[in-house]
């Protein structure tokens, strides 16, 4: 083989190797093995004394323990009319019909895995709290009752899209607009019981739709809090809103 031929061959090999390196996708931590610690989110949960909203978040062993009284940090027609936190409905739903319940202080404790991991056997979400927002208000799933859609119940959501159930426990089934207005539509909004984060309806300037997400209403990508990537849920404007066919990971516990 001549020196010229050998030189051309080496140059071709170098170009081919460089092309392969440039086009090989980079890998990110998909957080399916429980290697990412979510304790960095602990200080994102907050209390607002003006509204008697109490939330504490502490690390206990392998869990992030969040305790809350569930009082929202915004006004609502569901506070008693004599309460300074009362505000008549001023939202956009012309069919709004207030339910008979009044917001009452709760005692709710969430024990959430510190290192969430994809569950081998996925479990359905139950009625009642399935997670917690950063202002201490619980997230509920997409049902008004056992397999009953929110079709009629949405008309009882207040101007911030929450409402209380019969024991006075205020909660969100859909986007907590008070939070997305104040924190941003792409912000971290809370955690589900399996430890995976919940983000708003926007990511990298794009409004997320259900078609961008998997059956559990999440996907893996980088976030401000997890620049190496993490599985997370997104809130969208259509059913199932927060969560789809159950938890992506293994749920912790909630006690009331």
Give the pLDDT confidence of 88-105 residue by residue, as tens digits.
Answer: 999 999 999 999 999 999
Higher-confidence residue of 245 and 1: namely 245
Residues above pLDDT 90, as percent of the chain: 86
Provide the token pair at 120: 């081998």
Average of per-residue pLDDT across 96-120: 98
**Which contiguous run of DSSP H or E holds residue 177?**
helix 177-183
Beta 206-207 vs 162-164: how paired, if at all? unpaired
Instruction: Between 115 and 29, name the one with better pLDDT.
Output: 115
Residue 40 neighbours by CB under 8 Å, 6+ apart: 225
Taking alpha carbons only, the member of 34, 28, 183 closest to residue 117 is 34
Estimate to the nearest angstrom the gap between the alpha carbon of 152 and the chain centroid. Answer: 24
d(CA 170, CA 163): 5
pLDDT, tens digit (0-9, with 9 covering 90-100), for 34-59 = 889 999 999 999 999 999 999 999 99
Number of Cβ within 10 Å of residue 105's Cβ equals: 14
What is the reported pTM?
0.88
């Amino acid at each position: 083989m001549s020196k010229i031929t050998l030189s051309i061959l080496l140059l071709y090999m170098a170009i081919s190797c460089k092309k392969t390196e440039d086009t090989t996708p980079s890998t990110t931590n998909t957080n399916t093995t429980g290697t990412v610690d979510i304790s960095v989110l602990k200080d994102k949960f907050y209390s607002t004394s003006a509204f008697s909203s109490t939330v504490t978040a502490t690390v206990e062993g392998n869990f992030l323990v969040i305790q809350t009284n569930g009082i929202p940090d915004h006004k609502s027609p569901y506070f008693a009319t004599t309460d300074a936190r009362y505000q008549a409905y001023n939202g956009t739903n012309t069919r709004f019909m207030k339910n008979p319940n009044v917001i009452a202080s709760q005692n709710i404790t969430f024990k959430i895995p510190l290192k969430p991991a994809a569950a081998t056997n996925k479990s359905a979400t139950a009625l009642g709290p399935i997670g917690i927002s950063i202002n201490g208000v619980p997230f509920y799933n997409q049902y008004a009752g056992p397999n009953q859609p929110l079709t009629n119940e949405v008309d009882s959501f207040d101007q911030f899209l929450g409402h209380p159930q019969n024991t006075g426990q205020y909660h969100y089934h859909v986007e907590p607009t008070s939070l997305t207005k104040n924190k941003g539509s792409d912000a971290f909004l809370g955690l589900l019981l399996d430890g995976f984060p919940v983000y708003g309806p926007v990511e990298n300037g794009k409004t997320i739709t259900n078609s961008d997400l998997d059956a559990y209403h999440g996907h893996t990508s980088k976030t401000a809090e997890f620049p190496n990537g993490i599985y997370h849920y997104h809130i969208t404007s259509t059913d199932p809103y927060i969560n789809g066919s159950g938890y992506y990971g293994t749920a912790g516990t909630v006690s009331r």
